[in-house]
Amino acid sequence: MKLIILRSNLKEGLSAVERAVSDNNNLPILRNVLIKTYNNKIKIAATNLELGITKFTSGKIIEEGGITVPFSTLYSIVNNTDSERINLETKNNTLIFKTDNYEAKIQGVTEEEFPIIPKIENEDYNMEIEAPIFKDGVFKVVSAAQISEIRPEISGVLIDFQMTLMKLVATDAFRLAYKTINTNQFKHNFNHGFKVIVPLKTISEVVRIFGDNQPIKIYMDNTQILFKNEELELISRIIDGDYPDYEQIIPKGIETEIILNKDYLVNALKLVSNFAGRTNDIKLKIDEGSKVVEIYSVSQSLGENKYLIPAKIKGEKVSEISFNWRYLMDGLKAVDSENLLFGINGSVKPANIKSPEDESYSYILMPIKSV
């Protein structure tokens, strides 16, 4: 292999595959990155056997070939070099990295020893969606998911594809977030709906590395999901298991409806949480007559505090309801509008946060049971 590549292209490529590099000591080659000429492009790839990422970039190819070298060494050199053009050349099992005044000989391993990144067998069926729409949907729900060894099926984001619409869902059993993407926002050629659970790490990588300018194509088989555009391929195992019946959890009615300013509530949580205990427990008092929501917390050792927010309140009085303020904050952040609609169903049943103007996103949160 012999080629010339712009520093910015090499850096972008390494950055794209970074999280697929493993630190597995039993299989040291997984700490390597593959650099290889392919169809007149330069292919940069890494895999940890669960997640594989490939980036295709351009450069001047003088001689075909490939090699694998330790990712961290190469990435650190690329980050620190100040030359725009980089010469890469293999000699035996060494990658020679050369600029005007610098030369590194990096010990590598032949590309033949690098694990083959799997492929989707049947690429006939796929869907295509504008990247900003998909990424925004993931962003809105992903904070509600959590890695769980006991319940692997919730350690990811559910794509619930129903032909004419698609729902992105995440939950950790204390809260649940969903975002609906309508049929006019994507194309597909599937002939039936499906549910697929995408691991948290995988979906986070999709959001991180896919640019906004090209649509994302999504392919699937029984064990894997592939996200790709013209430059990038990200393939991952999917999570095997039954996702909780989330529709059942969504509250049907609302006993107390509050409309209040989102930024005020964010400020209130930041302040009032100073006296919250280890359970992150803050309380709300809601009374239609008062026209304010009182947010407060009390600490045996530190003291107490309260914050008042003007609000439109309709329905039952709630004299005390407790929430984990961090969970509440996660839900708020995903609401795009200035005001939000906070629906409460007594101090035991799940509450519901959404935009008053947009039904497509909803964040369901369980209150903390009072001691």
Q: Scanning residues 39 to 78, which ones bind a second copy (CB under 8 A)?
A: 70, 73, 76-77
Least CB distance to a second copy at residue 270 (A): 4
Phi-psi sector, 201: left (phi>0), alpha (psi -120 to 50), beta: alpha
Q: Does 284 bind a second copy (CB under 8 A)?
A: no
The residue among 94 and 224 lying less far from a second copy, judged by its C-beta, is 94
Distance of closest approach, residue 260 Cβ to a second copy, in angstroms: 12
What's the min distance (Å) between Cβ of 82 and a second copy?
6
In the complex with a second copy, the residue whose CB is nearer, 65 or 118, is 65
Q: Are 85 and 54 in contact (CB under 8 A)?
A: no
| Per-residue binder mask for a second copy (CB under 8 A), 303-342, x = binder | xxxxxxx---------------------------------
Please report whether residue 360 would count as binding a second copy according to CB under 8 A. Answer: no
Q: Which of 6, 29, 49, 104 binds a second copy (CB under 8 A)?
A: 104
Name the minimum Å distance from CB 268 to a second copy.
8
Q: Give the x/- contact pattern for a second copy in 215-254, rule: CB under 8 A.
A: ----------------------------------------
DSSP symbols for 234-287: EEEE-B-SPPP-GGGTS-SS-SEEEEEEHHHHHHHHHHHGGG--TT-EEEEEE-
Rounded least distance, CB 356 to a second copy, Å: 22
**How many residues can be counted in the chain?**
371
How many angstroms separate the CA atoms of 341 and 72, rounded? 47
- Residue 81 makes contact with a second copy by CB under 8 A: yes
Measuring CA to CA, which residue among 244, 241, 307 is closest to residue 271? 307
Runs of H (alpha helix) within 143-242: 200-209
Distance, CA of 221 to CA of 238 (rounded, Å): 9
CB of 24 to a second copy, least distance (A): 17
Residues between 257 and 276 that touch a second copy (CB under 8 A): 264, 267-268, 270-271, 274-275
For CA atoms 132, 133, 134, 137, give the dihedral sign.
Answer: positive
Asked whether the beta carbons of 214 and 40 are under 8 A apart, the reply is no
- Nearest distance in Å: CB 293, a second copy: 11
Pick one of 50, 64, 102, 123: the residue that binds a second copy (CB under 8 A): 102
Q: In whole angstroms, give the CA distance from residue 217 to residue 231.
A: 12
Per CB under 8 A, 103 contacts a second copy: yes
94 near a second copy (CB under 8 A): yes
* 98 vs 217 by CB, closer to a second copy: 98
Question: Count of alpha carbons within 13 Å of 252, Cβ hemisphere only?
Answer: 1
361 binds a second copy (CB under 8 A): no
The SS3 assignment for 178 reads: strand
Residue partners of 225: CB distance under 8 A and separation at least 6: 196, 198, 202, 218, 219, 235, 236, 238
Provide the pairing of β-strand 256-261 with 303-315: antiparallel
Binding site for a second copy (CB under 8 A): 70, 73, 76-77, 80-82, 94, 97, 101-107, 264, 267-268, 270-271, 274-275, 301-309
